[in-house]
Amino acid sequence: MLEFQFNYVITLLLAAIFPISAMIIINYNRIMRSHLKMARDLNIKLKENKQKQEKIVHFISDYQKDNLSIKVNLILFIRSANNYIEVFWKEHETVKSQLVRCSMTKAEEVLKDDKFIFKCHRSYLVNSNYIEKVEGNSQGYRLFIEKVDFTIPVSKNFSNKLNEMI
């Protein structure tokens, strides 16, 4: 009797594993296809919507030593680094960066009038003019910036804003 129940349980488990595994794989592929399609659409729109502005912005440091003044159209992105922000900008054909003791909130306030700079993650502000391409999968989107060797994440909370922005 015990042997019969054990065989029955094993058979039931094996019969359940295959449909569940198939459903997981199918759902994963469906979500990945939708993210990839949306990323392709964003790449097409991205090339159409480049904006330029010659205004100079000033990032005022809390220490007053490492202030930064730069043209807003040269900013590639801004990354939060604890109590600092790291501003990346394009100078001729190179990418430069500088740490400024300033909060991300202050940086957002300085750049609030510039519609082509948007927050894509709690730690990143990005200039949409320098986004080369968008890649996505079931975990979210990643932005590729010109002349930068790492990608920038787009959180799920800001993916709709990315769609609107582009």
**Residue 139: inside a domain, yes or no?**
yes
- pLDDT tens by residue, the chain, 166 residues: 556 687 888 888 888 888 899 999 999 999 988 888 888 888 787 776 666 667 888 888 877 778 888 988 899 999 998 889 999 999 888 999 999 998 899 989 988 888 888 888 899 999 888 888 888 765 678 898 888 888 999 888 877 777 776 6
Q: 135 lies in which domain range?
A: 45-165
Between strands 84-91 and 75-81, the pairing is antiparallel
SS3 letters for 40-79? HHHHHHHHHCCCCCCCEEEECCCCCCCCEEEEHHHEEEEE
Query: 122 and 140 in contact (C-beta within 8 Å)?
Result: no
Report which of 142, 137, 146 is spatially closest to residue 154, judged by C-alpha positions: 142
**Residue 1: inside a domain, yes or no?**
no
**Residue 39: inside a domain, yes or no?**
no
Q: Which two tokens stand for residue 67?
A: 């202030």
What domain count does the chain have?
1
**Residue 40: inside a domain, yes or no?**
no
pTM: 0.70
Write the CATH number for 159.
2.40.50.1020
CB atoms within 10 A of CB 53: 15
pLDDT at 96: 92
**Residue 57: inside a domain, yes or no?**
yes
**Residue 142: inside a domain, yes or no?**
yes
**Residue 31: inside a domain, yes or no?**
no
What strand order describes the sheet that includes 124-127?
94-100, 84-91, 75-81, 124-127, 117-121
pLDDT at 54: 74
Give how far Cα 13 sits from Cα of 2, 5, 7, 16, Å: 17, 12, 10, 5
